[in-house]
A and B are shown apart, each in its own frame.
Chain A
């Protein structure tokens, strides 16, 4: 199943003026892994999601929960 692009993650990162590399280093993964998560090419584990949320100061709901509102927002 092809995952949708995670634009909320991208915007949260941009709001903190952090690059993919900065977030990746803070979380302990490679930049390519962060890129894959943002592009929807990789479905991260819950532990990795929590680490990303902590670094970006967001909750799991805000970054990773998918409901109709979020999906519509991402499509538009």
Chain B
């Protein structure tokens, strides 16, 4: 029977990931608390559940960026070629799925991609910005590592 391949991290990477995970969780908890305080004061910067999604994405982006910066994103047995192939396959599948979904929705259903209250228009640029930040962190780290080597 074929079992799911487990990504193995070394002990330093594991300890870093536990630390970053804890930090991300605390960040999320504090952001939600601050958001609730704003809501209580009558300041609504985004409708529910868009605000929660954005806070979740923020803590997710923090975890990924910290993992990249701390060399704890991929395990020692993952070669760069394997990682690149894996990422390329996932991005390709996601892109094809997105195009098919958008095509199907726009042609068969009378739905709008953005919510009536404009929440969708806030979430989309935020997602793009989040991936851009992760990409920039990755590039800066790569340049820094090359200089140090």
B119 contacts chain A at the CB level, 8 A cutoff: no
- Spell out A's residues near B (CB within 8 Å): 24-25, 28-30, 32-33, 36, 42, 44-45, 48
Q: Please tell me if the beta carbons of A28 and B11 are within 8 angstroms of each other in the complex.
A: no
Q: Which residues in chain B, 1-54, are within 8 Å of chain A measured between CB atoms? A: 10-13
Chain B positions near chain A (C-beta within 8 angstroms): 10-13, 71, 75-77
When A and B form their complex, what is the total count of cross-chain residue pairs whose Cβ atoms lie within 8 Å? 29
Instruction: For A44, list chain B residues within 8 Å (CB).
Output: 11-12
Task: Give CA–CA (A17, B12) in the complex, Å.
Answer: 25
Contact A29 B71 (CB under 8 A): no
Judge whether B76 and A24 touch: CB under 8 Å.
Answer: yes
Minimum CB–CB distance from A25 to chain B (whole Å) comes to 8
Please report the C-alpha to C-alpha distance between residue A24 and residue B71 in the assembled complex, in whole angstroms: 14
In Å, the complex CA distance between A59 and B71 comes to 29
